Amino acid sequence: GAVVSQHPSWVICKSGTSVKIECRSLDFQATTMFWYRQFPKQSLMLMATSNEGSKATYEQGVEKDKFLINHASLTLSTLTVTSAHPEDSSFYICSARISGRYGEQFFGPGTRLTVL
Amino acid sequence: GENVEQHPSTLSVQEGDSAVIKCTYSDSASNYFPWYKQELGKGPQLIIDIRSNVGEKKDQRIAVTLNKTAKHFSLHITETQPEDSAVYFCAATKAAGNKLTFGGGTRVLVKP
């Protein structure tokens, strides 16, 4: 149980294009999902908290117009990197919290984004 | 806000030995402390967690201890195996906030 998937697992795009990453909770409902970014050999950096049916809450320093988050259902959240540039290349990981249970977060397998 | 420090940053052990990773946190209101294992190119996997009303929790070869007074918690892996080699992250959060604050990670290498 508590499986989170991400799609795609990796993507290569040209500078200036937009990329959408999907995060799905496969066997549970997730009122809240989280998006993280991870650089090589570093810890996870929280980008935003995504709540179903409402606007995402972004961490300080994260551009909300660049990283668009949509949490349209209890099992799906999407992160769109708009007008991607090489500095956006990173490992993006989502996590989901089981509705009604605090604390526990289950992570997806991550998406490797490379912007050329 | 919460700050979590994790030590050591790297740990090399011989197969069969024990490994211990320690984390300290700053916010006394934090009450949930998970540990994650991350293998190369993959997302973190929850391996064990502990809540503030418990001092110790064990699951086979893995155990976590919590000292609320000193505000630190530790991960203990016994009888280490090569497949235990990975990066381990500790984290802390308050029940209401749900945001996890992660430690810097420990790269564990188990030598056969």
**Tens of pLDDT, residues B37-83:** 999 999 999 999 999 888 999 999 999 999 999 999 999 999 999 99
Is the Cβ of B89 closer than 8 Å to some Cβ of chain A?
Answer: yes
Which of A32, A44, A109 is opposite residue B98, by nearest beta carbon? Answer: A32
What is the CB-side half-sphere exposure of residue B12 using CA atoms within 13 A? 2
What average pLDDT does this structure show over B20-24?
98
The closest of A52, A49, A56, A55 to A34, measured between CA atoms, is A49
B95 pLDDT above the threshold of 80: no
Chain A residue closest in CA terms to B105: A43
The closest of B90, B76, B89 to B18, measured between CA atoms, is B76
* Residue contact B42–A102, C-beta within 8 A: no
Cα–Cα distance, A110 to A91 (Å, whole number): 6
For B7, residues 6+ apart whose C-beta sits below 8 A from its C-beta are B21, B22, B23, B106
CA distance A18 to chain B (A): 23
What are the structure tokens assigned to A44, written together? Answer: 């996870």
The runs of H, that is alpha helices, within chain A are none
Is the Cβ of B53 closer than 8 Å to some Cβ of chain A?
Answer: no
